[in-house]
């Protein structure tokens, strides 16, 4: 499903929205303040380790590209 993260340009709230067409994205408003000035933000994906895992997450990130709080290393 096409779930995207957006940030309100006024109050800076980050929220998720299910978007099927560009028209829906243009009419999107912030759930906190109601302003229709939003921008799409890059989502961070995560992958959980299974109990029998050898420690590899299968992640392609490196120590220089990991977001704050990343626990893949």
Print the SS3 string covering the chain: CCEEEEEECCCCCEEEEECCCHHHHHCCCCCCCCCCCEEEECCCCCCCCCCCCCCCCCCCCCCCCCCCCCCCC
Which sequence spans correspond to the domains of the chain?
A: 3-41
What is residue 56's predicted lDDT score, i.e. its pLDDT?
46
Prediction pTM value:
0.56
Give the mean pLDDT per block of 10 residues along the chain (73 residues): 89 94 89 95 69 50 56 55
Q: What is the pLDDT of residue 52?
A: 56
Looking at residue 29, its pLDDT comes to: 94
């Amino acid at each position: 499903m096409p779930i995207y993260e957006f940030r309100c340009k006024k109050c800076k709230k980050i929220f998720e929205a299910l978007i099927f067409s560009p028209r829906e994205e243009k009419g999107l408003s912030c759930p906190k303040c109601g302003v229709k000035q939003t921008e799409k933000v890059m989502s961070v994906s995560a992958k959980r380790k299974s109990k029998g895992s050898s420690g590899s997450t299968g992640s392609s990130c490196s120590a220089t590209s990991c977001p704050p709080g990343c626990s893949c290393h």
